[in-house]
Amino acid sequence: MAASPNLKVFDANGKYMAACHEMEAAASLAAFYGPGSTVRYGHSKRVVLWTEGQDGQAGESYDAAAQVMYQRIEQRLSKPAEFDETRWYPNA
């Protein structure tokens, strides 16, 4: 059975809207839901990877938004209590 996606997309009101495996897909949904929507690692409000309108406009470049998210993930990998590296790096 496949693992549940770690990336969660919430609208500006904090309502859970979707889960994604790819950051580019999460960026496209954040752009769709508009300013204030967030992409988080899991359901926690502590690990916000992208806030639409605050971090930029994901609709301008899904790749650029994904790059910001990847950088934030890399910064957080030093905190193993929050992240399971095997979900991001299967061969780790």
The model carries a pTM of 0.80
* Paired tokens of 81: 């209590």
- Please check the confidence at residue 83 and state whether its pLDDT lies above 60: no
Could you give the CA distance from residue 11 to residue 79 in angstroms, rounded to a whole number?
A: 27
Domain assignment present for 75: yes
What is the model's pLDDT at position 3?
80
Domain assignment present for 19: yes
What is the model's pLDDT at position 80?
59
Domain assignment present for 32: yes
Domain assignment present for 73: yes
The average confidence (pLDDT) of the chain is: 87
- Please check the confidence at residue 9 and state whether its pLDDT lies above 50: yes
Helix (H) or strand (E) holding 10: strand 7-10
User: Based on the structure, what is the number of domains in the chain?
Assistant: 1
Quote the domain boundaries for residue 15.
7-82
- Please check the confidence at residue 92 and state whether its pLDDT lies above 50: no
3-state SS, 29-74, equals HHHHHCCCCEEEECCCCCCEEEECCCCCCHHHCHHHHHHHHHHHHH
CB 40 within 8 A of CB 12: no
- Please check the confidence at residue 90 and state whether its pLDDT lies above 60: no
